Amino acid sequence: MTNIPLSDTPLISDAPLGTGPLRNRPLGETPLRNGPLRNGPLGNGPFGNGPLDLARLTAMDSGQGARLLHEIRDAVLAGEPPPVAPRPVIDASWRRMFRMGADPERHDCGALLEQDELEHRRRTSTLGEVLRTLVGSLSEIIEPSLQIMVVTDDEGRVLWRRGSLGGLRQSNGIHLEEGAAWSEHSTGTNAIGTALAARRPVRVHSAEHFAQTLHTWTCAASPVHDPRDGRLLGVVDVSGPATGFHPMTLALVSSIARLAESELRERHGRTIERLRSVAAPIMCRLGGARAVAVDVHGWTAAVTGMAPVDRLPLPKSFRAGRVLLPSLGMCTVEPLPGGWLVRVDEKRPQAETPGRVVLDLSRPRRPSVAVSGSTGSWTQELTPRHAELLYLLAVHRDGRSAAELAADVFGDPTRTVTVRAEISRVRRHLSGVLAHRPYRFSEGIEVTVVRPEDPQDLLPHSHAPAVLNARHPPGA
């Protein structure tokens, strides 16, 4: 959270102004469901008669920019038209704050984690493997200043922080300390929590924070994902006083996050090589029988007797013994150091359509699908894109063409190639579940969708037009 000179970095969206006022309402009540927070006409003030753009913004000094951000927030809280719309990422976050009934005056990070729990999270966090990269890459900008570097887990809990003594002392004043909770639910709009919610790099400056107690700070944060399975691991963040924040901090933090992901990818490649060296002599003795050696995430290290695949989708609860895998059928699974040997039954029974599919979207960060039938059942976590597609097919049981899905997901019916590629991946993972021409769930399958309690929490990271419409039904 550090200050970025307003003269160098845009803080206000250049997007067209939206419609519809934000009426006076209790903070816990849901605000407008369509368009950004009220974008009234700008009038004949210093910003002209149109939306604020980058050229006009760079002409402002930092004091003028800070005053504008305060005016925007004050107007929104009062239910009045702001002088210009907040940036879209801030607009979306403030809406979540209104729905949660967040306190606009102060933030509350809650109780710190007990030391034992903090140490456990550190030991089990994949980010610990690349902590040296994260710290070393950012030390040059944080040590001479009052800025600090923070690494959190996927829940927004601070696992590590680094900085000068003065910077750490100041961050203690806002409870940005190890073990504290900095998700949006606990602290309101802030770069850490908002980056976790939006799954994208975010900078939050001064009065863009929902809580007034954070207005003297600026933060820049970027999520870090596990390249092995796409799972969100946490966030790397730089925070500091709202003056003196370098305009390139967000770009730097984002590049460091990508560097950490690259290092994790290289480490994974080395583990695959070690697994391959262990599995190769074993598989040579199988006499051409179909088998594949995979790591614990399903990535293929070696294969024999069958066409190679990059990754074998594994159920959530995977263990040695007889296992039904949707892409292979019944298999015998044996443990290997760092992975599994999966031997495919040669007498494969006739493929059977699963009887029931449960699409669980109740957990915003962990959508999953459970498939059950007479031969067994399994559960698999979904990527955000695959969760979108399965949700749309569950809603449209009669099926959707590639063009219709492209319009549903991208707002562009011409992006059929992308849709077909994604559906192909889903069908490989969920053999027998989906049919095509049109794309749909197979006949005879009972499909259940478990939705979140609040409709506006449906696939919160999705920007698909069809999902946005489901969150905010017309006329609601």
**Does a structural domain hold residue 134?**
yes
Structure tokens at 155: 């829940």
421 with 370, same domain: the answer is yes
Is 463 domain-assigned?
yes
Containing structural domain, residue 388: 356-471
Kindly state whether residues 324 and 405 are assigned to the same domain: no
Q: Is residue 273 part of a domain?
A: no
Name which of 416, 379, 452, 468 is nearest 33 in CA terms: 468
Same domain, 145 and 249: yes
Contacts of 178 (CB under 8 A, 6+ apart): 112, 118, 158, 159, 160, 161
User: pLDDT (tens digit, 0 to 9) for every residue of the chain, 476 residues total?
Assistant: 444 333 333 333 333 333 333 333 333 333 433 344 443 333 333 343 334 433 343 346 667 777 888 999 999 999 999 888 888 889 889 999 998 889 999 888 878 999 999 999 999 999 999 999 988 888 877 777 789 999 999 999 999 999 889 889 999 999 999 999 999 998 999 999 999 999 999 999 889 999 999 999 999 999 999 999 888 999 999 999 887 777 788 999 999 999 999 999 999 999 999 999 999 999 888 888 999 999 998 999 999 998 888 888 887 778 888 888 877 888 899 999 999 999 998 765 555 556 789 999 998 778 988 887 655 677 888 888 999 999 999 999 999 999 999 999 999 999 999 999 999 888 877 767 888 889 999 888 889 999 998 888 898 888 889 998 898 776 55
- With respect to residue 318, please indicate whether it lies within any of the assigned structural domains: yes
Return the residue matching tokens 């800070």: 66
Q: Are 339 and 364 within one domain?
A: no
Same-domain status, 260 and 311: no
- Does some domain include residue 26? no
Residue where one domain finishes, among candidates 211, 235, 266: 266
Number of domains present in the structure of the chain = 3
Domain assignment present for 47 = no
For the chain, the residue count is 476
> Positive or negative CA dihedral for 1, 104, 74, 14?
positive
Task: Please tell me whether residues 152 and 241 are part of one structural domain.
Answer: yes
DSSP string covering 298-364, please?
Answer: -BEEEEESS---SB----SS--SEEEEETTTEEEEEEEETTEEEEEE-SSPPPP---SEEEEE-SST
Contact 289, 343 (CB under 8 A): yes
Has residue 160 been placed in a domain? yes
Q: Of 344, 374, 391, which one is at a domain's C-terminal end?
A: 344
299, 369: one domain: no
Strand-pairing partners, residue 304, are: 291
Give which of 208, 207, 184, 210 is closest to 197, Cα–Cα.
184
Whether residue 290 is found in the same domain as residue 212: no
Same domain, 217 and 182: yes
Place of tokens 């002209």: 48
DSSP assignment of 146-190 equals S-EEEEEETT-BEEEEEE-HHHHHHHHHTT-STT-B-SHHHH-S-
Cβ contacts of 293 within 8 Å, gap of 6 or more? 275, 276, 278, 279, 282, 283, 300, 301, 302, 303, 336, 339, 340, 341, 342
Distances (CA, A) of 423 to 8, 103, 300, 356, 441: 42, 43, 21, 19, 12
Cβ distance 163 to 426 under 8 Å? Answer: no
Contact 318, 340 (CB under 8 A): yes
Cβ-count burial of 165 within 10 angstroms (0-12 exposed, 13-18 middle, 19+ buried)? exposed
Contact 459, 199 (CB under 8 A): no
What does the block give as tokens for 240? 């500091």
Q: Is residue 411 part of a domain?
A: yes
